[in-house]
Amino acid sequence: EALKEYDYGCFVFSDVDLIPMDDRNTYKCFSQPRHLSVSMDKFGFRLPYNQYFGGVSSMSKEQFLKINGFPNNYWGWGGEDDDIFNRLSSKGMTISRPSGAVGKCRMIRHNRDGGNEDNPQRFDRIAHTRETMNKDGIKTLSYKVVKVEKDQLYTKITVDVGKKD
């Protein structure tokens, strides 16, 4: 929806509960997809596993479109970040990362949102990313714009993606 307003060339995706701790961690795009939150307090300031792509990441418009964006079939908590990693890998892209010192983030402690329980299908869906990624993503995204709020520094677009099938 944002691309209807302006031809953005870079997208940064961030969990709302993560706060960067080092201002040298530039939120911009690179020649390869970038995982920016490599050292989070909730994981003891270490990467939990090499394929981890959760928290904060950036992709150029070309990279994002090449993987058909985010999957639409994940409801509840978990799995979509690993699906994105699989999409990037299957298209021959590698993940770049800042150092652990630069990529440090703190998580704001909170209770999990109601209705956002663990996604029981996440492991099966992750295992089948390569078969589903061309059919499930930005090309098949369906939504209704509910509200557009323009501020001096940002535009907030609220959409309705419907209910889980």
CA-based radius of gyration for the chain = 16
112 given a catalytic annotation: yes
Catalytic residue chosen out of the listed positions 40, 80, 87, 133: 80
151 given a catalytic annotation: no
97 given a catalytic annotation: no
Catalytic residue chosen out of the listed positions 81, 82, 83, 136: 81
35 given a catalytic annotation: no
Catalytic residue chosen out of the listed positions 77, 117, 124, 130: 77
* Selection from 2, 137, 25, 19 nearest residue 74 by Cα: 137
Q: Tokens 């979509």 appear where?
A: 80
SS (H, E, C) 140-159: HCCCEEEEEEECCCCEEEEE
Catalytic residue chosen out of the listed positions 21, 93, 106, 107: 107
Catalytic residue chosen out of the listed positions 23, 62, 109, 112: 112
122 given a catalytic annotation: no
Answer positive or negative: Cα dihedral of 47, 53, 54, 55: positive
75 given a catalytic annotation: no
Catalytic residue chosen out of the listed positions 15, 41, 93, 106: 15
Dihedrals φ, ψ of 121, to 5°? Answer: -90, 0
Catalytic residue chosen out of the listed positions 7, 23, 109, 110: 110
Catalytic residue chosen out of the listed positions 1, 5, 17, 117: 17
Catalytic residues: 15, 17, 77, 80-81, 107, 110, 112
